[in-house]
Amino acid sequence: DVKVTQSSRYLVKRTGEKVFLECVQDMDHENMFWYRQDPGLGLRLIYFSYDVKMKEKGDIPEGYSVSREKKERFSLILESASTNQTSMYLCASSALNAEAFFGQGTRLTVV
Amino acid sequence: QQPVQSPQAVILREGEDAVINCSSSKALYSVHWYRQKHGEAPVFLMILLKGGEQKGHDKISASFNEKKQQSSLYLTASQLSYSGTYFCGTDLYNNNDMRFGAGTRLTVKP
């Protein structure tokens, strides 16, 4: 059974904290993605990675960075969390031109 | 670069049909369709590659018009289980740089 696992389902952080969201996939996929989901805005791409140490900006990279040191792990970092980063974060992975598998999401609240 | 989906929401009775549209301002390499139920992760329905093909999946099918940079998802004889939010994802450059639309909320009532 294919799996994309996100480290936390719910997270509450304070403004200004550095926040790490972790994602691990067990399918040996080349591509990994971080999306942010907000009501009425759909899934917006923050960053994606097509190989270890490689990353590309999506539509809303400001305030975020990513790290992919191993093929199976893709981390999203909020350098200094702000209240407007309160959202649902979804990680996904895929092979090239194939379906994407999503994790269960992390609901982040910044207070 | 997000594709535009329409309609934003649709309500059906069981057995009725629906069409969800997805359009892009740029040339597309592929289109993906996903369904997300409340509180769950999006689940893959189908992928359509450049070439104008149509695909089917039980009573759910989709078309891809490369020239018009559009895709449509067809749900026929809808069932209660079809309820959810449908997203189209578009890949412009064949590198899986996938952007999603804002979603179409489909509600099927008995």
Residue bearing the bigger pLDDT, B52 or A71: A71
Give the pLDDT confidence score for residue B65 in this predicted structure. Answer: 87
**Which of A40-44, A84-88, B20-24, B51-55 comes out lowest in average pLDDT?**
B51-55
Contact A59 B99 (CB under 8 A): yes
Contact A44 B100 (CB under 8 A): yes
Q: Determine contact: B96 vs chain A, CB below 8 A.
A: yes
The mean pLDDT value of chain B amounts to: 90
Please report, as a single letter, which amino acid is at residue A77.
I
What's the pLDDT band for A2 if we cut at 50, 70, 90?
low
Q: What is the pLDDT of residue B54?
A: 65
Q: Is B15 left (phi over 0), alpha (psi -120 to 50) or beta?
A: left
What was the pLDDT predicted at B67?
Answer: 85
SS (H, E, C) A44-61: EEEEEECCCCCCEECCCC
Which residues from A are below 8 Å from B4, CB to CB?
none
pLDDT digits (tens, 9 = 90+) for B33-50: 999 999 999 999 998 987
> Of B6, B35, B93, B96, which to mutate for an interface test with A (greatest number of A Cβ within 10 Å)?
B96
pLDDT at residue B53, as a whole number: 66
